[in-house]
């Protein structure tokens, strides 16, 4: 993977994290309860493209380190990162849960599912943000 392509993917990830961070902050603001459903939906949509951008960046990152992926999908990328000690067992499990939640947002449109996933997004955002900073400092 070219350094330039990795940098482009990284910049897209930073933009995604910024918009998701904004939604996370707004969803935790008690002054905007009247707009909660709209903010929740925005938060979920931003989570969807952030997790997608993150795993693709991570796949490019580990490929640039010489790690060969058998398949290119989020769970295999996270598994390769875990096996190569780039992420911890706990981080791996949270990321697998995030992918499951992301997939659920694409296939289920119920209010209860949306509510449950929206509550998990703060944790996912924090982890993705932390890992992104860690990978940047390790480069």
Distance (Å, whole) CA 93 – CA 49: 20
Whole-angstrom distance, CA of residue 53 vs CA of residue 28 = 24
pLDDT at 59 over 90: yes
Tens digits of residue pLDDT in 81-133: 999 999 999 999 999 999 999 998 877 667 788 888 999 999 999 999 999 99
Residue 115 has a pLDDT of 85
- Note the pLDDT of residue 102: 94
What is the pTM (predicted TM-score) of this model? 0.88
Q: What is the mean pLDDT of residues 61-86?
A: 94
Query: Token pair of 132, please?
Result: 């992104």
Q: Could you give the domains of the chain?
A: 3-138 (1.20.120.330)
């Amino acid at each position: 993977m070219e350094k330039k392509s990795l940098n482009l993917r990284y910049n897209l990830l930073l933009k995604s994290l910024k918009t998701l961070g904004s939604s996370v902050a707004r969803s935790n603001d008690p002054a905007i309860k009247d707009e909660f459903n709209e903010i929740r939906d925005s938060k979920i949509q931003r989570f969807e493209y952030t997790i997608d951008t993150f795993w693709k960046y991570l796949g490019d990152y580990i490929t640039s380190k010489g790690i060969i992926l058998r398949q290119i999908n989020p769970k295999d990328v996270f598994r390769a990162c875990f096996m190569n000690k780039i992420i911890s067992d706990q981080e791996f499990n949270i990321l697998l849960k995030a992918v499951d939640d992301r997939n659920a947002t694409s296939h289920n449109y119920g209010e209860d599912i949306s509510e449950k996933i929206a509550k998990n997004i703060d944790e996912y955002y924090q982890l993705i943000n932390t890992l992104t900073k860690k990978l940047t400092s390790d480069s």
